Chain A
């Protein structure tokens, strides 16, 4: 019964809230759709946190999404020991890099007075939720290897069953608790999305691709 609440009810609740509140925030408070960057307040340490964090986590998240969208292709890709090992090692390195990144970001928010001053309660919640999630992911990948393979036969069928409104939780309920927490952690982050600065995920400046050209003219005296 508890499993039903966690793996068949909670994901829907998280997604519904994320969509409803996300849309509400977009139409009523559009200018809060921002990462609220603190780069002006502190720029030196930020680099060592934000670069490893974002490059690591975006690539890993894309791999999760890609394997979910084309599981057969992904299965063929790793159905070879060498390719599997390369994939897993790349993933583990990126995961570790993102853990290092977010740890630096958290430390920076604690230690830098100016960066700390602009933090809200939800900012702290988000930072620690992300840290927990990447640590659980790294742990799962390392201790319960090879996740790039069994993900296709546990989480993926579960997620598809959720998508088809016919939850089949038996694919995931017998997995080790760290793995289950990682899966639920994903939906927890979905739930946190509209209440935190995580909304900046959808603010990627795509319109730059088709906006009119801007001519920038510098006015300065020509050196003689």
Chain B
């Protein structure tokens, strides 16, 4: 086959595709918007209120009132940009904060440099008194929850009003039984205490800050009732059974399943080696 011609046309289309995409992205990336405290305010509501207040006390993370005076600006910029890298590098302030806040690391929010600068500009504005601190939802505003409904929402028997996925797809929790919940996200058995009770969780459930959760929930947020029911369930789950370790039973079941399928295939096609030719030869001999 004309492999060399195939190669050259492949190369040509590769170059074409690469140029097309490069052109596309250069036009998109060419003009990054300038930093602005307004953009910072929007970002704060989307990405930060899950864990932080400004002047209303600690949640999952520290109260950010006065943070621009407590920390160097350069430190703040690189921390918000890549908290995971700072922690991995053993930054002393970062390590201290991690210890102080239940070993819950601040997630990498996936922001670009302009967005980080906007956030810091916003925080500076608040500390300087030129911008008003945001009013955030508090635990007091959350209605009384029902842990039974909460469990149904968690497992998916009861679906979320705005179309979000059941928690169980990614999270496990004590008392789910059988093979437990998902393992993409952390186990939530002790989440209620770990995230600072209702006060911490309400912020988190309003605007989940981790990159993957944020992408899912910013478009289909939980209603106030759903949050209350989930919190009630998580609170009851904290005290109940230990989570199920599903890895070993799952592996064993998968091996058994695969074996059964292979045996069935062998039984079903067991006569496959009786070839057409052999049958014809036999037949011709008989006659």
Interface assignment of A73: CB less than 8 Å from any CB of chain B: no
Residues in B with CB closer than 8 Å to A25 are 6
B258's partner among A79, A96, A143 (CB-CB below 8 A) is: A96
Interface assignment of B96: CB less than 8 Å from any CB of chain A: no
Interface assignment of B176: CB less than 8 Å from any CB of chain A: yes
Residues B1-52 near A (CB distance < 8 A)? 1-2, 5-6, 9-10, 13-14, 16-18, 20-21, 25
Q: Are A150 and B170 in contact, with the CB atoms below 8 A?
A: yes
Contacts A51-B269, A81-B178, A96-B255 given; does A4 touch B25 at CB 8 Å: yes
Interface assignment of A97: CB less than 8 Å from any CB of chain B: yes
Residues in A with CB closer than 8 Å to B168 are 81, 84, 146, 149
B260 → A minimal CB distance (Å): 8
Q: Are B253 and A89 in contact, with the CB atoms below 8 A?
A: yes
Interface of A is mostly: helix
Q: Are A52 and B182 in contact, with the CB atoms below 8 A?
A: no
Residues in A with CB closer than 8 Å to B215 are 154, 157, 168, 170-171
Interface residues of B (CB under 8 A from A): 1-2, 5-6, 9-10, 13-14, 16-18, 20-21, 25, 107-108, 110, 155-157, 159, 165-166, 168-170, 176-179, 181-184, 210-212, 214-216, 246-247, 250-251, 253-258, 260-262, 265-266, 269, 272-273, 283-284, 286-287
Chain A: number of interface residues, binned into ranges: 35 or more
B5's partner among A28, A76, A168 (CB-CB below 8 A) is: A28
Q: Are A145 and B13 in contact, with the CB atoms below 8 A?
A: no
Q: Are B284 and A220 in contact, with the CB atoms below 8 A?
A: yes
Q: Are A9 and B21 in contact, with the CB atoms below 8 A?
A: yes
A9–B286 CA distance with the chains assembled, in angstroms: 67
Q: Are B287 and A221 in contact, with the CB atoms below 8 A?
A: yes
A84–B156 CA distance with the chains assembled, in angstroms: 10
Residues in A with CB closer than 8 Å to B287 are 220-223
Residues in B with CB closer than 8 Å to A68 are none
- Closest CB pairs A-B (n = 9): A93-B257, A149-B169, A174-B211, A79-B156, A92-B254, A96-B258, A20-B13, A16-B17, A97-B258
A213–B214 CA distance with the chains assembled, in angstroms: 58
Residues in B with CB closer than 8 Å to A17 are 10, 13-14, 17
Interface residues of A (CB under 8 A from B): 4, 8-9, 12-13, 16-17, 20-21, 24-25, 28-29, 32, 43-44, 47-48, 51-52, 55-56, 75-76, 78-81, 84-85, 88-90, 92-97, 100, 142-147, 149-150, 152-154, 157, 168, 170-171, 173-176, 179, 194-195, 220-223
A152–B215 CA distance with the chains assembled, in angstroms: 12
A-B contact count (CB 8 A): 175
Residues in A with CB closer than 8 Å to B286 are 223
Given A47-B269, A79-B157, A93-B261, 12 additional A-B pairs, CB 8 A: A13-B18, A20-B10, A29-B2, A80-B156, A81-B176, A89-B254, A96-B255, A143-B247, A149-B169, A152-B165, A175-B184, A223-B286
B176 → A minimal CB distance (Å): 7
Residues in A with CB closer than 8 Å to B165 are 75, 149-150, 152-153
A37 → B minimal CB distance (Å): 15
A157–B214 CA distance with the chains assembled, in angstroms: 13
A145's partner among B157, B183, B261 (CB-CB below 8 A) is: B183
Q: Are A97 and B261 in contact, with the CB atoms below 8 A?
A: yes
Residues in B with CB closer than 8 Å to A171 are 212, 215-216
Contacts A17-B10, A80-B156 given; does A174 touch B17 at CB 8 Å: no
B91 → A minimal CB distance (Å): 21
B97 → A minimal CB distance (Å): 21
A150–B246 CA distance with the chains assembled, in angstroms: 18
B185 → A minimal CB distance (Å): 8
B265 → A minimal CB distance (Å): 5
B16 → A minimal CB distance (Å): 7
A135 → B minimal CB distance (Å): 13
Q: Are B6 and A24 in contact, with the CB atoms below 8 A?
A: yes
Task: Report the nearest B residue to A168, measured CB to CB.
Answer: B215
Q: Are B25 and A195 in contact, with the CB atoms below 8 A?
A: no
Q: Are B265 and A52 in contact, with the CB atoms below 8 A?
A: yes
Q: Are A142 and B6 in contact, with the CB atoms below 8 A?
A: no
B84 → A minimal CB distance (Å): 10
Residues in B with CB closer than 8 Å to A100 are 258, 262
Q: Are A92 and B253 in contact, with the CB atoms below 8 A?
A: yes
Q: Are B169 and A150 in contact, with the CB atoms below 8 A?
A: yes
B284 → A minimal CB distance (Å): 7
Task: Report the nearest A residue to B262, measured CB to CB.
Answer: A52
Q: Are A21 and B261 in contact, with the CB atoms below 8 A?
A: no
